[in-house]
Amino acid sequence: MKNRLIILLCVLTLIYAAVPRAYATDITRLSEEDTSEYEITEQFVFAPRIMETMGGADSFVDKTATTADFDVPCKAAFLIEEQSGQVLYEKYPDEQLPMASITKVMTMLLVIEAVEDGKITMNDTVPITAHAYSMGGSQIWLEPGEIFTVHELLKSVAVSSANDSAVALAEYVGGSEESFCNMMNTRAEELGMTNTHFVNACGLDADGHYSSAKDISVMARELMKHPVIFEYTTIWNDYLRGGRTQLANTNKLLRSYNGTTGLKTGTTSKAGVCICATAKRNNMSLIAVVLGSDSSQERFSAARKLLDFGFSNFETKPFPQIDMPQTINVRLGVEKQVPISCTVPSELLFVKGATTALTCKTELPQTIDAPMFTGMKIGSVSLYSGQGKIAEYDITLAADAAKIDFKTALSILTKNIRNM
């Protein structure tokens, strides 16, 4: 009898040691978010040919690093500097791939835009429907009939990647999840996201639901124009239901990478393990997108490597003061003057430590001849460094300069005589 017990214990030990590991892999891959903790070592990336491959005149960044310079463990990746939009690294940037819960970047954007447009408020109460309750994956276990505020649901989406909360918000803003998805696709089209299509608001695997690393950086950059989002994406731990429901952030970079500000993780069986990571140091903000990693550790490792590459090798400088009038004189125009504009970045990106003083020069005629129309180029602002001209920006009309005709001239003359 004793020998049988010993043999049984040995068999159970072997089962415990071997079988759960096989299952654990599948469970991790199928779960919406992997919130496991692990140690991440520091890694600093400096491409030996960085000056040659990415720096133009005086190291003004006008080129992009690729897998020829270094690789990261994922199917697709993208790195940009937020203010300038300059692309720093790309790996299959336009490939259409499942994006998992990174979908919620667009969901959060539309919710915040609805708040800022006055259509809803953060204090509005949102009833929970049976459809929102039915969501699988990561969730906060909403029950039909429960009432939460927009603020509470947005927090659970940003921090814990709650699918049920995302759908509840979608139904509240759009009337239904289907209508909200139409809004998502319309907004994506407005932003120029040509490799993106949404069929749900939370990111669960579905046919026809995809994006690209480049497109994700576009919607992330748009979301970051609303600083209120960082009040949610930088929360490490919080609670709902009076402390009975804990929210733990799925983005472990918040505690392991200096300067992390967000933005969204994602994991499904089709998408693999993904992240859109944002971080800010010394007034420079980066957006790193990683799609299709094999594990949570590889996802965070890839994001760190991209961010390290950006922070180690580049720096921003403010655009110099522009000497330009606000209007221009019009010859033979209905109006004597019309407004003009020139769009320049607030910050410029350079290879770190290799820039000289920046200056700019405005080239603009004293007058223009009507008719001319909004958007027409009438001059330029040129940016210079120690090695000469490195960029040029158009000065355009901000309003039509209509040409005066006999009837209009007679009307103006008659009006002036009456006012004498």
DSSP category for residue 402: P
Compute φ and ψ for 203, nearest 5 degrees: 105, 5
Question: Of the residues 138, 156, 161, 295, which is catalytic?
Answer: 161
Question: Of the residues 75, 104, 155, 264, which is catalytic?
Answer: 104
Question: Of the residues 59, 101, 160, 293, which is catalytic?
Answer: 101
SS3 289: strand
d(CA 127, CA 218): 31
d(CA 118, CA 123): 12
Rounded alpha-carbon distances, angstroms, from residue 373 to 178, 294, 333, 370, 378: 40, 53, 12, 9, 10
Compute φ and ψ for 276, nearest 5 degrees: -115, 105
Cα-atom radius of gyration of the chain, to the nearest Å? 27
What are the start-end ranges of the E strands in 225-320? Answer: 237-240, 245-248, 260-268, 272-281, 284-293, 314-318
Give the torsion sign (CA, 47, 53, 56, 58): positive
Give the largest CA-CA distance in the chain.
123
Q: Is 380 a catalytic residue?
A: no
147 contacts 129 by C-beta, under 8 angstroms? no
Counting Cα atoms < 13 Å in the Cβ hemisphere of 154 gives: 29
DSSP string computed for 111-162 = HHHHHHTTSS-TT-EEEPPHHHHT--SS-----TT-EEEHHHHHHHHHHH--
Q: Is 161 a catalytic residue?
A: yes
Q: Is 305 a catalytic residue?
A: no
Catalytic residue ranges: 101, 104, 161
